[in-house]
């Protein structure tokens, strides 16, 4: 325990991440206003006692929209990480365990997907599938599984030749059983680290796609989309361009801290494998 809580990055990351999750879960209880309630007469109003972070271009409470927006961010983040890790680890483990043509095909596909920088592939996919929350999740997972596949394959190659795996095979265990019971438990720790950092990446990518108008569609509150509307009123209502960004930065920083702290606490060698 001391290994974890004695680590500044881990502790501060955990506090920020737990705060983010609590805010998302308790959104209906803690948001001071309905995030979609409009008061057009008071549009672009600056922060005040009544509306701590001000009102947006349609007169909606910015703080309430940021609080509700955390739900979108986390929903996308968790969905992408779960989907990408299941697909990636399954394919990576198969590639590493069976080798041969299966490995060649899977790894060449990962090479191709990795040759799309950043969120380019996600942009391309959302462009053809159409902008929506689900399509953002599909697009980000399509690009996100690659990292898990590489990690899975690498780890499987490492443990495949271990005595206990050879013994399990010699005792007649079938491949799926060997992979599930003997190989996968060994890669849990690096996967947890990768998933934490992946969550930060997915939240950032969702915000970026929404900022570009390719993500969550109005009136659903999303931090990225809030920044897009904020950009239109720079100089007139700067609070619109500031606060959603603070929320994104705190969320991403918390998860990055947590991931970094986990690496240090679990095994610093993971830094090379990530």
Partner 1 sequence: MSQYILRRFLQMIPIAFGILTLVFSLIHMIPGDPAVQIAGEGARAEDVVAVRKALGLDQPLWTQYVHYVTHVLRGDLGTSFQTNTSVAEQIKTRYPATIELAFGSMFVALLVAFPLGIISAIYRNSWIDNLARFFALIGVSMPSFWFGPLLIIAFAINHEWFPVSGRDAGLRSLVLPSLTMGLALSAILTRMIRISLADELTQLYVTTAVAKGVTRAQAIFRHALKNALIPVITVLALQFGSLLTGAIITEQIFSWPGLGRLLLTSISTRDYPQVQASILVIALTYILVNFASDLLYGVVDPRIKLE
Q: Give the interface with partner 1 as residue ranges (CB under 8 A).
A: 108-109, 111-112, 115-121, 123-125, 127-130, 200, 204, 207-208, 211-214, 224, 227, 230-231, 234-235, 238, 241-242, 244-245, 248-249, 252-253, 256-257
Rounded to the nearest whole angstrom, what is the least distance from the CB of residue 34 to partner 1 in the complex? 25
Rounded to the nearest whole angstrom, what is the least distance from the CB of residue 4 to partner 1 in the complex? 19
Q: Please give the Cα distance from 238 to 235 (Å, whole number).
A: 6
| CB-count burial class (<10 Å; 0-12, 13-18, 19+) for 1 | exposed
Rounded to the nearest whole angstrom, what is the least distance from the CB of residue 20 to partner 1 in the complex? 13
Q: Please give the Cα distance from 25 to 68 (Å, whole number).
A: 9
In terms of CB distance, is 84 or 119 closer to partner 1?
119
In terms of CB distance, is 26 or 112 closer to partner 1?
112
Rounded to the nearest whole angstrom, what is the least distance from the CB of residue 84 to partner 1 in the complex? 18
In terms of CB distance, is 4 or 116 closer to partner 1?
116
Rounded to the nearest whole angstrom, what is the least distance from the CB of residue 204 to partner 1 in the complex? 6
Following CA atoms 24, 30, 131, 122 in sequence, which dihedral angle do they give, to the nearest 10 degrees? -30
Following CA atoms 212, 218, 220, 221 in sequence, which dihedral angle do they give, to the nearest 10 degrees? 60
In terms of CB distance, is 159 or 197 closer to partner 1?
197
| CB-count burial class (<10 Å; 0-12, 13-18, 19+) for 161 | exposed
Q: Which of 191, 206, 190, 203 minimizes the C-alpha distance to 255?
A: 203
In terms of CB distance, is 58 or 253 closer to partner 1?
253
């Amino acid at each position: 325990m001391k290994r974890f809580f004695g680590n500044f990055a881990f502790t501060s990351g955990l506090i920020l991440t737990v705060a983010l999750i609590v805010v998302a879960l308790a959104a209906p209880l803690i948001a001071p206003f309905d995030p979609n309630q409009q008061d057009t007469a008071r549009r672009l109003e600056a922060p005040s006692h009544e509306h701590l972070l001000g009102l947006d271009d349609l007169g909606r409470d910015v703080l309430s929209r940021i609080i509700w927006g955390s739900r979108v961010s986390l929903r996308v983040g968790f969905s992408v990480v779960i989907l990408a890790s299941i697909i990636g680890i399954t394919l990576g483990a198969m590639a590493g365990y069976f080798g041969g043509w299966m490995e060649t095909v899977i790894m060449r596909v990962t090479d191709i997907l990795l040759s799309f920088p950043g969120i380019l592939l996600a942009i391309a996919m959302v462009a053809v599938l159409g902008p929506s929350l689900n399509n953002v999740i599909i697009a980000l997972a399509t690009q996100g599984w690659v990292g898990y596949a590489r990690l899975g394959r690498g780890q499987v190659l490492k443990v495949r030749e271990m005595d206990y795996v050879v013994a399990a095979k010699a005792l007649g265990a079938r491949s799926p059983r060997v992979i599930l019971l003997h190989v996968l438990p060994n890669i849990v720790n690096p996967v947890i680290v990768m998933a934490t950092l992946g969550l930060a990446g997915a939240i950032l990518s969702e915000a970026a796609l929404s900022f570009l108008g390719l993500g969550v569609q109005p009136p659903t509150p999303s931090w990225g989309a809030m920044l897009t509307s904020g950009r239109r009123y720079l100089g007139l209502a700067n609070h619109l361009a500031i606060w959603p960004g603070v929320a994104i930065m705190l969320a991403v920083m918390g998860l990055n801290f947590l991931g970094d702290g986990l690496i240090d606490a679990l095994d610093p060698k993971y830094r090379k494998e990530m």
